[in-house]
Amino acid sequence: MTTRPGAEPEPSESAVALTKWLASLVHNHDYASLAELRRPRIQREPYFRALWHSPDEAQREVYTQVAFLFAVYHQGRSQPAYGYGSLGDAARRIGSGNGRGPDDPGAARLIDRIVSSRRIPWRHLQHAVARLRACDRQPPSWSRLVDDLNRWHDRRARVPYEWGVAFHIPAARAAAVPSTAAPAASSPEKDSTT
């Protein structure tokens, strides 16, 4: 996965393949398979299909849990939602007419619990997806969620930090952060003595 400054990270092929397969379940109205995925303790064919997309054994839990979250979000929906942005971006969409994102106390508490967790906070992620579904808002990019969760423990990736920034700082403002370059030698302002 590569990142470019100011651009959406490139998702891994396996994460894209998982998302396409999950979306096909919704598109083909395979509600039985989606229901099976919402029962994480029951391991039937859809569970193992989600595992097939995992490139290695260490990532299997992430693939099955994201399939579970996808199925929770799409319960009763007839069109697949591929989502966009990170979970922090998606959490900015949680709320009601009184406020969304940081202006919604429940959303702020939820993202704070998520980003402060050392382990992947599956229950809080489920709550975030359920809140997005209840608010009828777009979910995070499922492919990106897979990749972000696979990098959760990578200190250099700083996934929890990036989600917190995406939640608390609007994208336009984060892009407009002043650079640390030295000021120009000539200033357009007049000297105070002239």
CATH of the domain at 144: 1.10.520.40
Q: Please check whether residue 63 lies inside any domain of the structure.
A: yes
Total domains in the fold of the chain: 1
Residue 194: band (very low, low, confident or very high) from pLDDT cuts 50, 70, 90: very low
Q: What is the pLDDT of residues 60-85, one digit of tens each?
A: 999 999 999 999 999 999 999 999 99
Residue 7 has what pLDDT? Answer: 60
Whether 187 is in a domain gets the answer: no
Q: Quick check: is 188 in a domain?
A: no
Q: Is the pLDDT reported for residue 115 higher than 90?
A: yes
- Asked if the model's pLDDT at residue 186 lies above 50, the reply is no
pLDDT of residue 107 exceeding 70: yes
- Please count the helices (runs of H) and the strands (runs of E) in the chain: 10, 2
Range of the domain at 106: 13-172
Contact 95, 135 (CB under 8 A): yes
Residue 146 resides in a domain: yes
The three-state secondary structure class of 23 is helix
Assess if residue 24 is contained within a domain.
yes
Residues in the chain: 194
* Residues 81, 151: Cα–Cα separation, whole Å: 23
Answer yes or no: is 194 within a domain.
Answer: no
Residue 89 counted as domain residue: yes
Q: Is residue 137 part of a domain?
A: yes
